[in-house]
Amino acid sequence: MAALIAGRTASEMPGLDIAEQKSWQNFLESTLRMYSALNRRLTDAHQLSLFDVRLLEMLDSAPTGCARMGDLAEALPSLPSRLTRQVRRLEGQGLVRREASRDDGRGVVAAITEDGRVAAEQAMVTYAQGVRTYFLGHLSRSQIAAMGENCRRISVGLKVAERASRTRA
């Protein structure tokens, strides 16, 4: 006989009912599959990972074409050491360069190069096509709006939790 959680049928995941577990599993599986499909598509077409394209997109859309490394690590989100390796690799490809911050000589910024802007523009076409194919193409307009709002709420909650854990550390 299945255990009950406040009148709901418990799942194999402690503290979750069956509907909650199934919802989580569907979300996680679709997210991992989508990441994999987009990453493969971008790597095959441009020799850039999804994280590379996101980084180039962020730099390309920045008013100065550059951003502090710490801000990039937080926005992606990525460990600073992982971001440093990623930027070093993109630097080797001539797509970005690292330089001292103009605002704070101790800080380091990543700046997009002209070759990086071209690569970002080309990769963004492939990226957008993949998003349309793998994500938007399976949803109605109202489902797209609801998905966007739900993900925004989740993201806000995660950002608040991250900030709280950093202040405790």
Q: Could you give the maximum distance between any two Cα atoms of the chain, in Å?
A: 66
pTM (two decimals): 0.82
- Please, which residues bridge with residue 26 across strands? none
3-state secondary structure of 144: helix
| Per-residue model confidence (pLDDT) at position 119 | 97
pLDDT along the chain (169 residues), means of 10: 56 82 92 96 97 96 92 84 93 94 80 97 97 94 96 91 79
Q: What is the DSSP string of 30-81?
A: HHHHHHHHHHHHHHHHHS--HHHHHHHHHHHHSTTSEEEHHHHHHHTT--HH
Distance CA 79, CA 128 (A): 26
- What region, left, alpha or beta, does residue 6 occupy, with left being phi > 0 and alpha being psi -120 to 50 degrees? left
**Helix (H/G/I), strand (E/B), else coil: 5:** strand
Could you give phi then psi for residue 135, rounded to 5 degrees? -120, -70
Number of H helices, E strands in the chain: 6, 5
pLDDT of 107 reads 81
Enumerate residues 6+ apart whose C-beta is below 8 A from 132: none
Output the pLDDT for position 97.
96
Specify the pLDDT at position 139.
Answer: 95
Nearest-angstrom CA–CA distance, 143 and 168 = 38
CB 49, CB 43: distance < 8 Å: yes
